[in-house]
Amino acid sequence: QLVRRLLTGCGFSEAITYGFIEREPALAVHPAPQDIVALRNPLSEKGAVLRPSLLPGLVDSLIHNRRRERQNIRLFEMGSRFRHGDGETPALALAMTGDAAPRHWSGPVRKTDLFDLTGVLEGLCAGFGGVAEFAPATAGHLVPGRTATVRLTVAGDTAMLGTIGQLDPMFAHARGLTGSDAVYV
């Protein structure tokens, strides 16, 4: 509940997406095919594998919002991801795009950037009594130079949280995401 309160306090809305997704988006965000959990008898190709990441569903939620002419979007999802070897594990995914703050008549508009997302994660980690640490990284579905790993340090113990960055426009476009604003996940 604390995560939900902290993220809604930062202007995020919760999304709930399907656990079954298509194989191609699964491989785009998790390129190890041996980790993908395929269904033996899927009802359709739209739900052929269990999601190895929450990201494809969250991008689909962004697409849904953009098609309804929303431009300033902040979404999060908490749910399970599935991978061979790890089994079912809990996960959190965030996505934000559009203006960094509500428009005000007296100032210029600033678009969301990586630092807005790192600020949200710093606040989230502080809510748990920890400190977020960021280091440059690479990931196939994220823009090089705008990607970082996130670690949480609490009472001297450090844990890897995940990877953040700007979603590769080619990946977003291939999924059907419209608009010219950068998407940070």
Helices (H) and strands (E) in the chain, counts: 5, 10
DSSP secondary structure letters along 3-38: HHHHHHHTT-EE----SEE-HHHHHHH---GGG-EE
pLDDT at 15 over 90: yes
Average pLDDT over residues 50-70: 93
pLDDT at 103 over 90: no
pLDDT over 70 percentage in the chain = 100
pLDDT at 34 over 80: yes
Could you read off the pLDDT of 105-164 as tens digits, one per residue? 788 888 999 999 999 999 999 998 999 999 999 998 999 999 999 999 998 899 999 999
Task: Show contacts of 63-68: CB within 8 Å, 24+ apart.
Answer: 63/175, 63/176, 63/177, 63/178, 66/177, 66/178, 66/179, 67/178
pLDDT at residue 71 in the model = 87
- Three-class SS of residue 142? strand
- Three-class SS of residue 147? strand
Could you read off the pLDDT of 150-161 as tens digits, one per residue? 999 998 899 999
pLDDT at residue 51 in the model = 96
Q: Which residues contact 83 (CB under 8 A, 6 or more apart)?
A: 30, 35, 36, 37, 52, 89
How does residue 178 score in pLDDT terms, banded at 50, 70 and 90? confident
**How far apart are the C-alpha atoms of 7 and 52, rounded to whole Å?**
23
State the pTM of this model: 0.91
pLDDT over 90 percentage in the chain = 74
pLDDT at residue 173 in the model = 86
pLDDT at residue 135 in the model = 97
Q: How far apart are the first and last CA of the chain?
A: 21
Residue identified by tokens 């399970």 is 80
pLDDT at 49 over 80: yes
How does residue 72 score in pLDDT terms, banded at 50, 70 and 90? very high
Average pLDDT over residues 166-183: 87
Q: Which amino acid is at 109?
A: V
